[in-house]
Amino acid sequence: MKLLVGLGNPGSQYEGNRHNIGFMAVDAIAREHGISQFRSKHAGLLAEGTVAGEKVLLLKPQTFMNRSGDSVQQVTKFFKIEPADVIVFYDELDLAPGKVRVKVGGGNGGHNGLRSIDPQIGLNYKRVRLGIGHPGKEFVTQHVLGDFAKADREWLDPLLEGLAKHAGMLLKGDDSGFMNKLALLGKTEEPPKAAPKAQSHIRQARPARPQAEMPKTGPMADMLKKLLGGE
201 is an active site residue: no
- 3-class SS of residue 81: coil
Between the CA of residue 201 and those of 53, 103, 175, 195, 204, what are the distances in Å?
63, 60, 55, 18, 9
List the one residue out of 41, 42, 38 whose CA is nearest residue 29: 38
Q: Calculate ∠ Cα 163-1-130, nearest 5°.
A: 25
Mark 210-227 as b/e (b = at least 16 C-beta within 10 Å).
eeeeeeeeeeeeeeeeee
Q: Calculate ∠ Cα 24-28-31, nearest 5°.
A: 140
Catalytic residue among 19, 33, 143, 166: 19
Whole-angstrom distance, CA of residue 43 vs CA of residue 61: 6
Mark 155-192 as b/e (b = at least 16 C-beta within 10 Å).
bbeebbebbbebbbbbbeeebeebbebbeeeeeeeeee
The set of catalytic residues is 19
